[in-house]
Structure 1
Amino acid sequence: MAVLVKLKNTREAKGYSQNELARRTGYSLQNIQKIEQGRAASITFEALGRFCKVLKCQPGDILEWEPDDIDDKSDLSLVDDFADDKAVALKGDSQKRPKHQAHMIVIDSNKGVA
């Protein structure tokens, strides 16, 4: 599963028991346990909103994306590669560009295409 539900970590960090979270959100204890144990097939935006309201947190405190395989992890490097290339271009350095690179064309009316 690529999206992890970190409800237990967030709940414990805020000092709530499963029973207290169930009572305050209106969900059953069994439902809270199922979500925390990773046995829930999905979580609705409504549930996520209730958890965030009670726990006074953001959705990112409860949900985390984790790449499943090497392709997912390498896709993340595209953002870093672009930032690195931009920094290199600003410094005027002629370092070799990374394998996964986003290209940018800058048009200067005085010099043509750079």
Structure 2
Amino acid sequence: MAIIVNLDVMMAKRKMSATELSKKLGITMANLSILKNNKARAVRFSTLNEICKALDCQPGDILEYVEDDEEIHE
């Protein structure tokens, strides 16, 4: 997938643990882990909004587009 989730980078910059963020967001550690490890297929805007509020950042600080090799060869 060409969208990279840099949630762990922002969490480190804000010195926030996964446990603390999951509590602030009201999501399970399992779901937070899915986001952090780039396993999510989708993110609700409401969740993205809460992440940005909790980490005092912009969506672009968390989400990054990187061209896939598959897309280049199509």
Q: Which has the higher helix share?
A: 2
Cα distance, 1:12 vs. partner? 1.2
The residue aligned with 2:57 is 57
1:13 matched to 2:7? The reply is no
- Secondary structure (helix, strand or coil) at the match of 1:41 reads coil
* Aligned AA (1:23): K
Higher relative contact order (CA 8 A, sep 6+): 2
3-state SS in 2 of match to 1:11: helix
TM-score relative to the length of structure 2: 0.88
Q: CA deviation at 1:42?
A: 1.2
Deviation track 1:25-74 (CA, whole Å, cap 9, x = no partner) reads: 111111111111122211111111100000000000000000113875xx
Equivalent residue number for residue 33 of structure 2 = 33
**CA distance 1:23–1:71, change in 2 (3 Å):** closer
Q: Aligned equivalents of 1:12 and 1:56: distance in 2?
A: 13
* 2:37 maps to amino acid: Q
Please tell me the root mean square deviation across aligned C-alpha atoms, in Å: 1.5
Counterpart CA distance in 1 for 2:31 and 2:2 is: 21
What is the TM-score when the length of structure 1 is the normalising length? 0.59
Larger Rg over CA atoms: 1
The gaps in structure 2 that reach 5 residues or longer are: none
Q: How many residues align?
A: 72
The 1:2/1:28 distance shift into structure 2, 3 A limit, reads same
